[in-house]
Structures are given as structure tokens and as C-alpha cells.
Amino acid sequence: MSFGPLNLHRRTLAARLVFWFALLLIVPMLIIGHGIDRAANRNLQEDVLEKLTMVARDKANSLELLAYERSRGATMIGRIERLGRAAAVLADPSQPENERTHQREVLSRVSTAFASNMGFQDVIIVCPRGNVLFQSQHRLELGENLLAGPQGNTPLGHLARRALTLLEADISDFAVYPGSALPQGFVAAPIIRENGSKAGLVILRINTKDVLDILTNYTGLGRTGNVLVGAIEEGVIHIVAPVRGQPDAAFKLSIRAGADYGQGMQQAVIGNIGRGRVTSVIKSDVLASWVYLPSFRWGMVVQQDFSEAMAMVSDQRIGLFTAVLAILTPILLIALMVARSISGPITMAVTAAEQVAAGDLSLDLAAEGDDEPSKLLNAIGKMVNDLNSLISQVQRSTIELVSTANSLSAMTRTQSEEVNNLGSTTTEIAAATKEISATSEELLKRMTDISAATGDTQALANSGQAAIGTMEETMRSLADATQSISNRLAQITRRTDTISSVTTTITKIADQTNLLSLNASIEAEKAGEYGVGFAVLAREIRRLADQTAVATLDIERMIREMQDSVSGGVMEMDKFSEQVNRSVSDTHLIGDQFGKIIQLVQALLPQFEAVHEGMRSQSAGAREIRDSMVSLTESVRVSAQSLDETRNATHRLETAIDELRNEIATFRLS
Amino acid sequence: MAISEKPMVEAELLAIEEINRNGGVLGHRIEAVVADSESNDDTAAQRALQLIQRNKVRTLLGCWTSACRKSVKPVVEKQDSLLIYPMAYEGIESSPNIIYTGAAPNQQILPAVNWSFENIGPRFYLIGSDYIWPHTVNAIIRDQILTLGGEVVGETYLPFGTLDTARAVKDIKATNPDVILSTVVGSSNAPFYRALREADLSAQKTPVISFSIAETEIQSFPVADIAGHYAAFGYFQSISRPTNLSFIERFRRRYGEERVISDVVETAYFSVYLWARAVERADSFESAEINQALLGVNFDAPEGIVTVDPVTRHTWRAFNIGQIEGNRTLRIIWSAEHPIRPVPYPPSRPADRWEAFVADLYNRWNHNWVNMETAVSSGGTP
């Protein structure tokens, strides 16, 4: 950084003080000034645009009102019966000449009485086919028929044609006609008679001055305010009225639609209202407001030069600038004075310090006063005195130092050699120890693995033994269950035997009953008809006995089947029971064997533990040795290094003493 | 909502969408609340009141028939609200709470009468539907024909909504006019044109100038019935201004390539823009402020520059006569060069006499805007 005022460390103290004073003053003032300026700019621009819009709207209203009044006026004139009658007479070629003359006079009077009072100048009357019947002033060449004559293709001719079709008051486009420098516009209205029939067209010339009075009134628009009106025709916008400063601008000034200036006018002629900062049709930078006037089909722009509109802001800007300057000058002067009062003694101190730096300690400094710069000068004086005595002392000490350094240097060299020897021996021992340590650590790791494996085996055997115990238990309860089922089955066999004996008894009873009933029926046969009832009884009893016998046989068969099944079951159970018992004894045997394994493993474990412990302590010992060796090596290295350093230091000391001697030699002591 | 009224709503929604897409008005989005009057005048008045009171709508935009507008008028006046009416109509009305963006009689009826007098012939037959608009329009036409020195050879009213036009056509044939001026609305039109053709009253011999049908309506008519007849409006789709071409493109992109646009659709569209400009100008959404700001506001509409006239509260409008072509488009055959100042009260009679004329019809029809004694069914057009 070497540019401008930022290169501060090269400037004098006074310049720096003044610079910062100025900076602290100017920067805030500029910021505040800029802010005020911008706000004022914006507000003023908005105010000016608002004012221009009001003026534009006011002018538009006035012009539209003028157009409306003229149209109404023309409509009313068109309905004056005297005028209608005159037009009808003049249109009728069969009317005598004196009557025609009379009607022309009537028309002249009507023109004077009404037309000029209503703001019209020329009065032209044509018949429904366009033949010119009357013209109050022969300023404009119309020809015999307006539509076919020299004005047939001018806005006047178009007006007549349109009004004859629309039968309604209408305003022509403005144009410059021969004989007049100013643009002119006409109003046409149909002449309608009292009976409702049309008798022609009355065409009245609008007093251009009435329109221009509104347009060229620049009140409130300042020195550069301007009002432009234009009409678009086939892509070209013509300015149709004089412009301030250009009285002949009408129909001479024009711009093409789409041009990069006159944006307001371009918007206005297509019916858009707006406002803003634009380049005007006369190519000046303006604030403008624009409107559209339907009666005349004009776009109107009310504008004021930007510079004038914003003059208030530029005045304010100049004022602000002057104020800043006015404040800045005295403040800079004060800053300069303060800076000088501080920098004077400091300059003296600087000169003294520079002398001291050059080695001249013979100067005598003393200042009167109580401010900081005076104190500084006194302090420097004291410092110079102190330096004087100090340097004398140093000169003396240096000589002593030189001899000490020399002897130190010799000693160090010897020591260094010894340490180097020690160093190599220690390094060898350390390497050996490191190997031992590594081996014992490897061994220890193996032992730890084996010990863990043994522990796992024991745990496995323990769980196996427990599982077999459970199995044995289960087998035993299974054997018990089998036994109880066998017992139950034996009981069932016994019960069925009892049932068999009961059925045998029943069979016997049934046989005897059968025999008894047979006898009874024989006896009944004998008794003849007295025994008939008894015979029936006996037959029934025998039938019952037979049924009993059959039922008993069924029971016997069922019991036999049951006994067969039970005895089959007992046999199966016996077989099963035997197998279970065998399994129980097998399981017991396995359990015992597991027990033995566990005992063996358990006996092994403490032995492993002992070995393990031994290994561990051996490994720790080795590690300790290794660590001690490392630290020993480190100590040797450090010793060697410090010896090197000592040597270096001694060397530096010698150099320093040499330099010191040289330096001191430069001082001129008092 | 009658079929022909739907495109009007669509055009308004399109304009609202466009304005919203460009940042809305005063930094707000416009929200449209659409209410259907169901082609019933009392319903229209009720819905208008609901929109103002319940939906807090600041500006109403709509009404198709004059009968509808006459019913809504007292509502907006009492509520001091604002209605924008986008339909060509008979005039003879002014309200401090209505802005009329459709054509006044001097922007549609009178130029058409003058043009046909000059270009077709002096003998006129007037036919209309039996309600307020045709009766008033025909009274205006009669005054104008008198001014022109022409002759009205017959005047007939078809019952509102009728399909039976035979007797009227028979009368036309008997009187043999040069031109028929038609204010027949809605569904009666198709049978009317067919009957004319069947009665050998061709467009070449006895053309009809309609103030009611336009592009939208004729799409469903047989070409043989309508080709060669005329219509008179401020806007026709065939206007070749770049603003119109771009409007047609946007409308079709939004609603379909086959769509056609008629005067009322375009009017509804630019009405929204006039309103938006007024809101910007008023810097307010209050009905009264917008109402005031609308006066004098203008817009480069598809048909030309339109301006709300501060004196009459009607709108400066273009005028065109179109002839129906074989492809159901309207070719512009005469155009009024630049927009016409609105004159809602035709100067042929004083304003109070016109108002008395309208009031007389209303009273004669038992306080209706349609002659209910002859009406066939509701649901028509202008």
C-alpha cells in the first residue's frame, strides 16, 4: 500500500492528525448530505409529477368541455328553424333570386348573432349532397360542392362526409389550411327542420385561439414548462399546435411511433394516461404527465425540464456543499494548531533519540514543563545518562567474559566426546531389551489365550453336566410314570375279572328263569283256558330271560376284548419301562464321566493361572527395562544435544562478546 | 345464465386474469364473484343486493337485457354502489351509479339507419321482440327516418321468446320494404331468418340489419339463411387493428381456437380495463371514488380508443356495419373512422319526453319491462 493518504505510517504526526480530523468530519457529512439529497430528489420529483398531472387533467377537462360546448352549440344552431328554412330555400333552384338573397342575409344575421357568440368564426352551410349554400367569410376556397371541391380530401371534407352519415355534431381533425398559419378545426352539425327532416349541414370553424389559450397557458409550469398535443396518423405522430419556443411547430414537428424519445406522447395518442421522466418530443430530459383527448383524438403531454423541476434540489445541494466547506476550514486550522503543539517537543525527542541511536551519548537533554512531550524529553535525558554508566560497566564485564568463555569451550569439547561414547553403548542395550520385552509379551498373550480357552471348556463341561442331570431327572420321572400306568392297567385287569364272574352269575340266573318259564307254560297249557293268561305271562318272562342271556353274552365279549387290549398294553408298558430304566442308568454314567472331566479341568486351571501370572510379571519386568533403556537413551541424546547447544552457545557467546566489544567501541562516553 | 351471456363473463374473467398476472391493481389481486341472474329480472336485483351487501363487491359488471339493467338500477342507486353495463342498448337513461360502456343509440342505431337509407333504400320495416329495448329503439328509428325523409312501411313485435314468425314474415312480404331493421332477440332469430328465406325474401332483395345478433349467435344458424344480411356494432371480430388481433389470440388461447368474439364480449373485456385504470387513478377501492375516477378514463381497446364521457357517463365507441359472409364472419363494409361521442338521449325529442315514453311502456305492461301478455318463455338476449 503506497497510495494517497492511506500510506499513513510514512506521514508526519501533524499530517496524520489533520487527516483524521478532516476524515471524521467529511464522511458523516457526506453520508447525511447524500441521504437528504436523495429523499429531497424523490419527493420533489413526485411533487412535480403530481403538479403536472393536475395541470394536464385541468387542461384536458377544459379542452373536452370546449369540444362538448362547441358540439352542443353546433347542434343547437343546426336546429334553428330560420336557418333550416334558409338552407331549404337556397337548396331549391326553383326559388327566385330575391328570395335567395334575402335568405343569405338571414344566414349572415344568424351567423353573427349565434355563431360568434358561441365561439365560432366561419359558418359554412351545405345541402345534404354537399353543395355549398353559404359561407360567411370567403377565406377558404370550397368549390361548388364541398365533398368534390378542393377541400374534399381535407379533414373538412371528411368531417362533412361523416356528419352527413352520422347526422350528428362532430369535430374535424385539425389541419393547416391555405391563408392561415395556425391549424384550424371545424364542427359540423346536421340542420334539422321543425318537422324533423334534415336540410343540410352547418359547419362552424372553431376559434383556434380558444384552444391555444388553454394549451399555451403555462401558468404553474415555470420557465421550461411546455404543453404538446399530437395526433397519430399511419404510424406518425404530428404535433398539431404551437410549442413553447417554437410557434411554427404545428404540423412541422413529428415523431414516428416506436421512436426512443417522446414516449409520453406515444402513449397518450393511443389512449394511455401516465406520467414519469422521459425524453420529450423536442428531445429534452423532462418530467411529464400525459392524457388522451377523445373529442380531438389528441394525445397531450404537459412537461417541464428535469433540470428546472429539480432546481430546488440542486440549490439545496450547493447550500449543503458551502456549509461543509465553511465548517471544514476552521476545523482544519484548529487541528493543525493542536497537532503542532504536540509534534514540536516530540520532534526534539526524535532528534535526541536519533543521536543516541547513532551512538552519541554525550548530549544533555532537559525540558521545562509538565505536559507529556516535556516528560518524554526528560525521560530520554535520564535514559541517556543511565546508558552512559551501563555501557562503561559492560565494557569492563566483557573482558572477563571472554576468558571464561574460552575455558568453557574447552571443557565442553571433552565432555561431548564422552557422552557420544556412552550414547552408542546405551543404544545397543536398549535394542536387546526391546527384543526380550517383545518375546515375553508374545508369550504372555499366548498364555492368556490358553487360560481363556480352558475357562471356556470348564464352563461348557459344567453346563453339559447340568443338562445331563436334568435329563436323568426327566428319565426317572418317566420311569415312575410308566410304573404307575402299569399298576393302573393291572388294576383294570382285576376289575374285569370281577365283572366276568358277575356276568356268569347273571347267565346262570337267566338259564334258570328260562327253564322256570318253560315249566310254567307247560303248567299253563294244562290248566286250559284258566291258564291262558298265565301262559302269556310265562312267555314274556322267557323272552326276558332270553334277552338277558343275549345281553350277558355281549358283555362277556366286550370284557374279553377289553382284557385283551389291557394285557397288550401291560406288555408294551413293561417293554417301555425297561428301556427307560436302561436310559436312566446310561445317563447316570455320562453324568459321572462329565464330573470327572470337570474335576480334571478344574485341577488344570490354577496351574495355568500360576504360569500366566509368572509370564505377566516377566513381561512387565521386560517392559520396565525397555522403558528405562529408552529414557536412558533419551537422556544421553539430550545430554549430547545440550552439549552441542552449550558448544554453540559458547561459540555464540564468543561472537557476541566480539560484537559487544565492537559496539562498545563506537560509544563516545561522557 | 343464457348461452349467449357466458362469453361475456369469460371475457371479463380473461381481463381480470391478465391484470392480475401483471401485478393486479394498486398491488392487489382482483377477485371476481360471479352471480347468475338466471335470466330473471327480480333474481338479478336480489343477486345484485347480495353481491353488494354480503360479498362486499365494490363494482358490479354485467346485466344483459335492458330489463335486467332497469331492475338492478334502483339497487345500485340505493346502495350508492357502481354498475358497469357492457351492452349496446336503447339509451334514454342516466344514473349516477351506472357507467354505460355499451353503445348508445347514436353509436349503433342511428348511424345504421342513416347508412341503410343512403346505401340500400328509403322504405323500412321494423321488427322486434315485444319488450322495452325494441320498442324504444324503433321509436328512435322512426324519428330518424322522418329526418331522413324515408318511410316506415310496417312495425311488428314478436312475442318474447316465440319460434313462430310466419305471420310477421307474411306481413313483410306484403309490404315489400327495401330493408328490415331487426331488434328480434334470442331464439326467435333462427326461425325468423329461415322464414324469410322460405318466403323468398333474399338478403340481396330485402336485407336485414340486425342490432341484436353478431358473431356468437350466427354460429348455429344455417349459412343459407343468414349470408348477405347485415349487423351494426361497435366491434366486429374482423377489425384488423393489431390490438384486436392480439386480443383474439389471447381469448382463443384461453377458451379455445374455435371461439368467436362479438361486440358484447369485447365491451365486457375493455370495461374491466377501464375499471382497473379508474382504480389506479382513484388510488382507492371505494365505489364512489372509482365512480368519479371512471369519468374521462380511456383505454386502447381492440376496436379503438374508448373513453368514458364525463358528461353522459357513456363511452366513446367505434361504429361498423358488417355483412355476414359464407363462413359466418362479418366483413366490415362501412366504418365511422373514429370513435363517436355518446348521446344517450336522441335529440329528436326532449329528454323528459323520452323518459315519459319509456315509463308509459312500463305502466302499460303492468310494471314489467317485458310485455308478459305475449311473452312465450323467459331466456333471451338484449
Please, what are the averages of pLDDT over each run of 10 residues along chain A (670 residues)?
49 76 82 85 89 92 92 91 92 90 89 82 91 87 90 92 88 89 92 88 92 90 91 91 88 90 92 90 91 93 90 80 83 82 77 77 70 76 78 74 73 73 71 74 78 76 77 78 78 76 79 80 78 79 80 80 78 78 79 78 74 76 75 75 75 74 67
Determine the distance in angstroms separating the CA of A166 from the nearest CA of chain B, rounded to an integer: 5
Helix, strand, or coil (residue B122) = coil
Inter-chain touch A167–B114, beta carbons under 8 Å: yes
pLDDT at A483: 80
| The pairing of beta strand A170-171 with beta strand A175-176 | unpaired
Output the pLDDT for position A376: 78
**CA B318 – CA B342 distance, rounded (Å):** 10
Best B109, B298, B312, B343 residue to mutate vs chain A (most A CBs within 10 Å): B298
Q: What is the pLDDT of residue B380?
A: 43
A68 touches chain B (CB under 8 A): yes
**What tens digit of pLDDT does each residue of B4-13 get?**
678 899 999 9
- Whether residues A167 and B297 touch (CB distance < 8 A) is answered with no
- Shortest Cα distance, chain A CAs vs residue B146, angstroms: 6
Chain B environment of A198 (Cβ under 8 Å): 147-149
Q: Which residue has the cell 338466471?
A: B38
DSSP state of A559: H
Amino acid letter for position B206: T
Task: Note whether B51 and B65 are within 8 A (CB).
Answer: no
How far apart CA B327 and CA B219 sit, in angstroms, is: 9
Rounded CA gap, A90 and A133, in Å?
Answer: 6
Classify the C-alpha dihedral B128-B134-B135-B139 as positive or negative. Answer: negative
> Longest C-alpha distance within chain B, in Å?
63
Is the distance from CB of B148 to CB of B241 less than 8 angstroms? no
Asked if A69 is an interface residue toward chain B (Cβ–Cβ < 8 A), one would say no
Spatial separation of the C-alpha atoms in residues A261 and A282, rounded to whole Å? 9
Q: Which residues contact B333 (CB under 8 A, 6 or more apart)?
A: B230, B321, B322, B323
- What stretch of H or E contains A305? strand A298-305
The set of residues, in sequence order, having a beta carbon less than 8 Å from that of A507 and lying 6+ positions away, is A549, A552, A553, A556
- How far apart are the CA of B299 and the nearest CA of chain A, in angstroms? 5
The predicted-structure confidence for B325-378, as pLDDT tens digits, reads as follows: 988 899 999 998 889 999 999 988 999 999 999 999 999 998 888 888 887 754
DSSP of A360-428, one letter per residue? B---------SSHHHHHHHHHHHHHHHHHHHHHHHHHHHHHHHHHHHHHHHHHHHHHHHHHHHHHHHHH
Q: How far is CA B47 from the centre of its chain?
A: 21
CB A295 within 8 A of CB A72: no
In this complex, do B297 and A273 lie within 8 Å of one another by their Cβ atoms?
yes
Place of cell 557420544: A420
Taking only the tens place, the pLDDT of each residue in B247-291 is 999 999 999 999 999 999 999 999 999 999 999 989 999 989 999
State whether A168 and B340 contact (CB < 8 Å). Answer: yes
CA distance A187 to A203: 6
Kindly provide the ipTM of the predicted complex, given to two decimals.
0.82
**Residues B95, B77 contacting (CB under 8 angstroms):** yes
Residue in B with minimal Cα distance to A169: B341
Phi/psi of residue B231, nearest 5 degrees: -140, 150
- Is 0.90 surpassed by the pTM of this model? no
Cβ–Cβ gap A271/B146 under 8 Å: no
Contact A155/A175 with Cβ under 8 angstroms? yes
Does the pLDDT of residue B135 top 60, yes or no? Answer: yes
pLDDT value at residue A453: 75
Give the minimum alpha-carbon distance from B114 to chain A in angstroms, rounded to a whole number.
Answer: 6
Dihedrals phi, psi of B22, to nearest 5 degrees: -95, 25
Size of interface A-B (CB pairs under 8 A): 82
Cβ–Cβ < 8 Å for A158, A116: no
pLDDT of residue A158: 92
A270–B300 C-beta distance less than 8 A: yes
The 3 state secondary structure assigned to A566-608 is: HHHHHHHHHHHHHHHHHHHHHHHHHHHHHHHHHHHHHHHHHHH
CB contact under 8 A, B347 and A294: no
Residue B152 binned pLDDT confidence (cut-offs 50, 70, 90):
very high
Query: Smallest CA–CA separation between A263 and chain B, in Å?
Result: 16
* B146 contacts A167? CB cut-off 8 A: no
pLDDT recorded at residue B2: 60
Q: Strand pairing of B60-61 and B304-308?
A: unpaired
Chain B closest CA to A22's CA: distance in Å?
Answer: 47
Flag whether residue B299 sits within 8 Å of chain A, measured between CB atoms: yes
In chain A, the largest separation of any two C-alpha atoms, in whole Å, equals: 194
Distance separating alpha carbons of residues A369 and A366, to the nearest angstrom: 10
Beta-bridged to residue A148, according to DSSP, are none
DSSP A111: I
**Which of B177, B172, B175, B176 shows the shortest CA–CA distance to B193?**
B172
Cell 314474415 -> residue: B169
Q: How high is the pLDDT of residue B275?
A: 96
Average pLDDT of span B17-30: 93
pLDDT at A11: 66
Cα–Cα distance for residue pair A637/A276, rounded to 1 Å: 89
What pLDDT was estimated at residue B172?
A: 95
H-type helices in chain B, by residue range?
Answer: 6-21, 41-53, 66-78, 105-119, 132-148, 166-175, 189-198, 215-218, 223-226, 242-255, 263-282, 287-294, 351-364
- Out of A165, A192, A272, whose CB is closest to B118? A165
The answer to whether B174 and B151 are in contact (CB under 8 A) is: no
Contact list in B for residue A272 (CB cut-off 8 A) is 298-300
Q: Please, what is the average pLDDT of chain B? A: 91
- Interchain proximity B316–A294, CB inside 8 Å: yes
Q: Quick one: pLDDT band at residue B190, thresholds 50, 70, 90?
A: very high
Residues of B in contact with A165 (CB under 8 A): 111, 114-115, 118, 336
